Amino acid sequence: MAYGTKDLPLAKPDLLQEAVRARLAHVRKATETFGKYGTSGGIDNYEKIGNFPIKNWREGRWAGASKISGVAMHDTILTGRKACMHCPIACGRHIKVTEGPYAPMDCEGPEYESIGTLGGLCLVDDLVAVAKANELCNRYGMDTISVGGIIAFAMEAYEKGVLTKKDTDGIELGWGSGKALVEMVHKMGKGEGIGSLMTEGSKRMAECLGRNAIEFAIHVKGLEPSAHDPRRFFSQALSYGTAARGACHNASWSHPYELSLYMPEIGIPEAQDPYRIEGKAEFTAKLQDLMCVMDALIICRFSQVGKAVTVTNHVDWLNMITDWGIDIPEYMKVGERIFNVKRMYNTRLGVSRKDDFLPYRFMTLDRTGEDLTNQLPPMGRLLSDYYGYRKWTEDGIPTPEKQKELGLDEL
């Protein structure tokens, strides 16, 4: 983070204001429904197409999904929308609960990933319990995605007898229990009893528990996945595997591009077939590079919803701010450089192909559920294509030539 005391003059402030204003009406229109129902507005559809995470990633259909969706929240406990500074989209939620076991609540509401992991993965269809767990995570300073993934792992361990009631201090850790969900968040937040081990994450917890726990500890590089099933989007499989910090959807944010989005100016002329292998590596890598440069500029992922803001807009506006006169390929090169720096850092820590695979469940288990198309991501082939496109070695290490091309050889 950089701080300063002086003003940063804009190169072409009038042009910039005019350009942003001209785009604003489009942004509002393109994101209207998204803003109204929030990030979790599409849960019903995600459940229908097999993207929603259910029962620790074991199943593909769940009627409870619609009870915890953004639409259900809108119709029940939502009291207002929240926005980051100056954002016209306002995807954030504010909720109020005045009755029941979790009242009173007057706080931020859960967004999609939190509902997917605290709700879907744990089979909790009580929206208020999920909202309570979300609020507690925020207060304890814990990431909702990891907490949901770890509790789902613990629920499966409990079901399989790897954890017992004695381990949970008497908590009945059954699937779908909102009460147990909230109690376990407290235990993790306070580092109390089994909660202390759970805060180590599902990877270390599985190693400690032994037996076959490793088979259902769902993580990549120690990070629990976000609420997008890589068996539904192969680019998400590849990106979960290769992202620097593990199974993070934000590394590529590619699932909307495999559904309906496109960005011709970076070589993605149309929405992609989620299961097509050919071209998947290039498509995924390009989006990872784009997300890196967007993060560097602090551009929200959701500005891409409905093509509200495009890469052409980014580059035009950046040039109006800086007068750098860069073009789209140069802009994308910045992202590629950032992605490679992160990989080189990980390489020093010993990360290579062996760490880029997905948990067994994603690569070997067909989910159950009516009308569900199951496709298991062929990670070996996907990784080989990907390393080839990135000009990395077959072990997944940036080659000296690639480092030189990016001006990183001195690192």
Q: Which of 52, 112, 302, 362 binds ligand SF4 (CB under 6 A)?
A: 302
Size of the site for ligand SF4 (CB under 6 A): 9
Q: Scanning the structure block, which residue is given the tokens 């929206």? A: 127
Contact range with ligand SF4 by CB under 6 A, out of 67-75, 87-95, 143-151, 172-180: 87-95
Among 25, 83, 326, 411, binds ligand SF4 (CB under 6 A): 83
The residue (of 6 and 86) whose beta carbon lies closer to ligand SF4 is 86
Distance between first and last Cα of the chain: 21
* Cβ-contact 39, 70 below 8 angstroms: yes
What is the Cα Rg of the chain in Å? 22
Judged by beta carbon, residue 95 or residue 198, the one nearer ligand SF4 is 95
Question: Would you say 111 or 125 has its CB closer to ligand SF4?
Answer: 111
Interaction between residue 259 and ligand SF4 (CB under 6 A): no
Q: Tell me which stretch binds ligand SF4 (CB under 6 A): 53-61, 84-92, 119-127, 181-189.
A: 84-92
Q: 180 or 311, CB closer to ligand SF4?
A: 311
Which residue type occupies 291? M
Does the footprint of ligand SF4 cover residue 294 (CB under 6 A)?
Answer: no
Eight-class DSSP state of 118: I
Q: Which amino acid is at 163?
A: L
CA–CA–CA angle 127, 184, 108 (5° rounding): 40
300 binds ligand SF4 (CB under 6 A): yes
Q: Does 27 bind ligand SF4 (CB under 6 A)?
A: no
97 sits in which H/E element: strand 92-97
Q: Shortest distance, CB of residue 251 to ligand SF4, whole angstroms?
A: 17
Dihedral sign (CA 189, 192, 196, 197): negative
CA dist 155 and 138 (Å) reads 22
Q: Minimum Å distance from CB 30 to ligand SF4?
A: 12
Report how far apart, in Å, the C-alpha atoms of 65 and of each of 122, 202, 369 are: 11, 24, 14
Give me the least distance between CB of 287 and ligand SF4, in Å please. 18
62, burial (CB in 10 Å: exposed 0-12, middle 13-18, buried 19+) = buried
Give me the least distance between CB of 250 and ligand SF4, in Å please: 11
Q: Which of 24, 25, 84, 296 binds ligand SF4 (CB under 6 A)?
A: 84
- Looking at the Cβ atoms of 52 and 302, the one nearer to ligand SF4 is 302
Beta carbons of 194 and 187 less than 8 angstroms apart: yes
Token pair, residue 232, equals 């539904």
Q: Provide the mask over 88-127, with x wherever binding to ligand SF4 is found by CB under 6 A and - wherever it is not.
A: -xxxx-----------------------------------
Nearest CA to 160 out of 116, 209, 225 is that of 209
Q: Which residues bind ligand SF4 (CB under 6 A)?
A: 83-84, 87, 89-92, 300, 302
